[in-house]
Amino acid sequence: MNIYVGNLSYRVTSDMLGELFAQHGDVSSARVIMDRETNRSKGFGFVEMDNNDDANRAMEALNNYELEGRAIRLNEAQPREPRQFNNGGGRGYGR
């Protein structure tokens, strides 16, 4: 199961997130999403756990858990929507 972790303090690292969830089962991956330009946390991340029972227990135990001064919010992550790119067309400026 892939778990969305929101309301993260900017001080939280991927390692910290992984260690917290590892107390509730095996963690496949944990990552805090970083802004490409500033290399600063965007305030959310994802934790992946192979065992759904462990993931559900972790979500129950850790939702609203205070980590680095902020109550984290947990939800099962939804699949990412494919990005839509504008491939031309438009309004015909310059005609």
Predicted model pTM: 0.83
Q: What is the CATH number of the domain that holds 18?
A: 3.30.70.330
Spatial separation of the C-alpha atoms in residues 93 and 79, rounded to whole Å: 36
Residue 83 lies inside a defined structural domain of this protein: no
Q: State how many domains the chain has.
A: 1
Range of the domain at 50: 2-75
Query: Is residue 85 in a domain?
Result: no
Cα 70 from Cα 95, distance rounded (Å): 54
- Mind listing the pLDDT tens digit of every residue in the chain (95 residues)? 999 999 999 999 999 999 999 999 999 999 999 999 999 999 999 999 999 999 999 999 999 999 999 999 999 998 877 877 666 555 555 54
Q: Examine residue 90 and state whether it is found in any structural domain, yes or no.
A: no
Quick check: is 86 in a domain?
A: no
